[in-house]
Amino acid sequence: MSEIAIVIGNKNYSLWSLRVWLALKRCYIGFDETMLLLDMLDTKEKLIHNSKSGLVPVLKFADITIWETMAICKYLVEIYPAAKLWPDEAKTRTYCRSVSNEMHAGFVPLRSHMSMDIKITYPGEGRGPGVKYIIARIVDIWANCQKQFGQYGPFLFGEFTIAVAVFAPPVARFKTFAIDVCEVATAYMSAVCECPGMQEWRATAEAETQIIKYV
């Protein structure tokens, strides 16, 4: 039994869980994982049993419980500095934090109209009010990061950072809803999809049997 444990939702649907899970994987540590099925009659009860917020993910480490995605990621930065989840250089780190927090806290139209569903494709759907602008903004962030830091590796800031974890759900959504993006964004999405953590998550998600109809 590992001293660190995570409570997550279905891998096919829980975008918040994906973010923390990828960050944990990047730390190259063993951890226990509990998955709670979403949208069940007893889901809320089980969630509240793990955290009074009633949300996932939840990280448990010794006597500490952390129930908010970015707080978990920042805690991992502190206890596993070798993982380098933030870039070393101050200016680059500030940029990384800015785009990560922008993604985490905003882009509501994308969440409202394009729910994450790894197993199914919905080409042409999900184009609700404000979605076009959000897609353009995300692609612009990816392109700017690649322009400034692409020489250091395939991800937004070269190596894997919290930014990769935070932007992983849009990568999955863009594939689900068949969003047509530029070559730079397409290359970035491929790099994320091909990383071992994302491949492992997708394989498990595709094996799940519960179906939640969001579209």
Three-class secondary structure assignment of the chain: CCCEEEEECCCCCCHHHHHHHHHHHHCCCCCEEEECCCCCCCHHHHHHHHCCCCCCCEEEECCEEECCHHHHHHHHHHHCHHHCCCCCCHHHHHHHHHHHHHHHHCCHHHHHHCCCCCCCCCCCCCCCCCHHHHHHHHHHHHHHHHHHHHHHCCECEEECCHHHHHCHHHHHHHHHCCCCCCHHHHHHHHHHHHCHHHHHHHHHHHHCCCCCCCC
The upper half-sphere exposure of residue 78, i.e. CA atoms within 13 Å in the direction of its Cβ, equals: 7
Note down pLDDT in tens along the chain; length 215 residues: 678 999 999 999 999 999 999 999 999 999 999 999 998 889 889 989 888 899 999 999 988 999 999 999 999 999 999 999 999 999 999 999 999 999 999 999 999 999 999 999 999 999 999 999 999 999 999 999 999 998 889 999 999 999 999 999 999 999 999 999 999 999 999 999 999 999 999 999 999 999 887 54
Task: Look up residue 31 and give its two tokens.
Answer: 């951890």
Neighbouring CB atoms inside 10 A of 80's CB total 17
Return the pLDDT at 2. Answer: 75
Q: Is 117 exposed, middle or buried (0-12, 13-18, 19+ CB in 10 A)?
A: buried
Return the pLDDT at 213. Answer: 72
Neighbouring CB atoms inside 10 A of 140's CB total 12
